[in-house]
Amino acid sequence: MSYLVLARKWRPKNFVETVGQEHVLKALTNALETQRLHHAYLFAGTRGVGKTTIARILAKALNCESGVTASPCGECGACREINEGRFVDLIEVDAASKTKVEDTRELLDNVQFAPAVGRYKVYLIDEVHMLTKHSFNALLKTLEEPPPHVKFLLATTDPQKLPVTVLSRCLQFNLKRLTPKLIRDRLQYICGEEDIEAESAALAMMARAADGSMRDALSLLDQAIAFCGGNVVEDAVASMLGTIDRQHVSQLLNFLADRDAPGLMAAIAEVDQQFPDYAQLLDDIARILQRIAVYQVVGPSEVEEDLSAEDLSHFADVIAAEDVQLFYQTAILGRRDLHLAPDPRSGTEMTLLRMLAFQPPQSGERAATPARIPSASAAPVPQTKKSAPEPVVAPPAISIHEEKKAQPVAEDDWADLIKTLGLSGATKLLANNCAMLRREGNIIFLDLDSRSESLLTPQRQQALGEALSSHFAETLRVDISLGHAKKETPVQEEVRRGDEALQAARQSLESDPNVQTLKDMFGATLNTDSVQILNEQSSGSQE
Q: Which residue has the higher pLDDT, 387 or 41?
A: 41
Per-residue pLDDT band at 538 (split at 50, 70, 90): very low
Class of the 180-241 domain? mainly alpha
Cα–Cα distance for residue pair 191/320, rounded to 1 Å: 42
Q: Any idea where the domains of the chain sit in the sequence? A: 8-174, 180-241, 246-357, 406-487, 491-542
Q: What is the mean pLDDT of residues 356-370?
A: 59
Class of the 8-174 domain? alpha beta
How much is the pLDDT for 60? 93
Question: CA of 379: how far to CAs of 373, 397, 507, in Å?
Answer: 11, 9, 45
Q: How many CB atoms lie within 10 A of CB 130?
A: 18
Per-residue pLDDT band at 201 (split at 50, 70, 90): confident
Among 148-152, 425-429, 534-538, the range of highest mean pLDDT: 148-152
Q: Which residue has the higher pLDDT, 512 or 256?
A: 256
pTM of structure? 0.58
Q: What is the mean pLDDT of residues 43-65?
A: 93
**Per-residue pLDDT for 387 more than 80?**
no
How much is the pLDDT for 25? 93
Please state which of the ranges 305-314, 386-395, 427-436 shows the lowest mean pLDDT: 386-395
**Average confidence score pLDDT of the chain:** 82
How much is the pLDDT for 240? 83
Cβ–Cβ under 8 Å, residues 170 and 41: yes
Instruction: Give the pLDDT confidence of 206-243 residue by residue, as tens digits.
Output: 998 888 899 999 999 999 999 888 788 888 888 788 76
Return the CATH number of 406-487, one of 3.30.300.150, 2.60.40.10, 3.90.1150.10, 3.20.130.10: 3.30.300.150
**Per-residue pLDDT for 30 more than 90?**
yes
Question: For residue 363, what are the contacts with CB-CB under 8 A and spacing of at least 6?
Answer: 419, 420, 421, 422
- For 314, what's the count of Cα atoms within 13 Å in the CB-facing half-sphere? 11
List the one residue out of 419, 468, 466 whose CA is nearest residue 439. Answer: 468
Instruction: Give the pLDDT confidence of 162-177 residue by residue, as tens digits.
Output: 999 999 999 999 999 9
How much is the pLDDT for 183? 92
Instruction: Give the pLDDT confidence of 84-118 residue by residue, as tens digits.
Output: 889 999 999 888 887 778 878 888 888 888 888 88
Residue 149, classed as helix, strand or coil, is coil
**Per-residue pLDDT for 142 more than 80?**
yes
List the one residue out of 230, 236, 209 whose CA is nearest residue 220. Answer: 209
Question: For residue 488, what are the contacts with CB-CB under 8 A and spacing of at least 6?
Answer: 411, 435, 496
Cα–Cα distance for residue pair 79/186, rounded to 1 Å: 24
pLDDT above 70: percentage of residues in the chain: 85
Quote the longest CA-to-CA distance of the chain.
114
Return the CATH number of 246-357, one of 2.40.30.10, 3.30.450.40, 1.20.272.10, 1.10.10.10: 1.20.272.10
Order of all β-strands in the sheet with 171-174: 90-94, 121-126, 150-156, 40-44, 171-174
Q: What is the mean pLDDT of residues 480-490?
A: 78
- For 233, what's the count of Cα atoms within 13 Å in the CB-facing half-sphere? 6
Please state which of the ranges 111-125, 169-183, 384-398, 438-452 shows the lowest mean pLDDT: 384-398
**Per-residue pLDDT for 511 more than 70?**
yes
> What is the H or E stretch that residue 292 is in?
helix 278-298
Strand partners, 90: 122
Q: What is the mean pLDDT of residues 176-180?
A: 89
**Per-residue pLDDT for 152 more than 70?**
yes
Please state which of the ranges 50-54, 156-160, 401-405 shows the lowest mean pLDDT: 401-405
Please state which of the ranges 52-56, 116-120, 439-443, 518-522 shows the lowest mean pLDDT: 518-522
Cβ–Cβ under 8 Å, residues 434 and 480: yes
Q: What is the mean pLDDT of residues 434-439?
A: 88
How much is the pLDDT for 231? 85
Q: Which residue has the higher pLDDT, 199 or 541?
A: 199
Per-residue pLDDT band at 539 (split at 50, 70, 90): very low
Q: Which residue has the higher pLDDT, 344 or 407?
A: 344
Among 298-302, 320-324, 480-484, 528-532, the range of highest mean pLDDT: 320-324
Question: For residue 286, what are the contacts with CB-CB under 8 A and spacing of at least 6?
Answer: 328, 331, 332, 335
Q: How many CB atoms lie within 10 A of CB 320?
A: 23
List the one residue out of 154, 138, 174, 139 whose CA is nearest residue 23. Answer: 174
Question: How many residues are given for the chain?
Answer: 543
Among 334-338, 410-414, 433-437, the range of highest mean pLDDT: 334-338
